Amino acid sequence: MSNKTVIKRQGLMRLIFTLSHSFNGLKWMSRFEAAFQQELALFSVLGVFVWLQEIALSNKLLLIASLLFVLFAELVNTAVEVVVDRIGSEYHELSGLAKDIASASVFIAMLIAALIWWAVLWA
């Protein structure tokens, strides 16, 4: 253990540093992760579409939230992939399983979003 003193940020400074780390993650995903780029493009198009619809604000927010959930799942999926790849490049069954499960979370998020869109706009 090192003698290095860890200073914990509190209050507004903690929030600022947290937001900067979040922004860095979003910026990296937007630049280097093709699936996130595609989902972000879809979010942009569908987001504009939602605001142009004459539906209740609560339904608009529900539709937007379902799209944000897909982006969230993609962030988690990529985080799992990055950590697994950081651990080692050799094949391991559990590494593959972790990536498959994380990928399945994105698929489930997309299904949820599709069901919500169907229920709000067409059911």
Q: Which of 13-17, 33-37, 117-121 has the lowest mean pLDDT?
A: 13-17
Q: What pLDDT digit, counting tens, does each position of 21-80 carry?
A: 999 999 999 999 999 999 999 999 999 999 999 999 999 999 999 999 999 999 999 999
State the pLDDT confidence band at 110, using cuts at 50, 70 and 90. very high
The whole-angstrom distance between residue 89's C-alpha and the CA centroid of its chain comes to: 24
Q: Which residues contact 47 (CB under 8 A, 6 or more apart)?
A: 64, 67
The whole-angstrom distance between residue 58's C-alpha and the CA centroid of its chain comes to: 22
Task: Specify the pLDDT at position 78.
Answer: 98
The CATH topology of domain 34-121 is Helix Hairpins (1.10.287)
Catalytic residues: 74
Distance CA 120, CA 66 (A): 11
* Amino acid at the residue 63: L
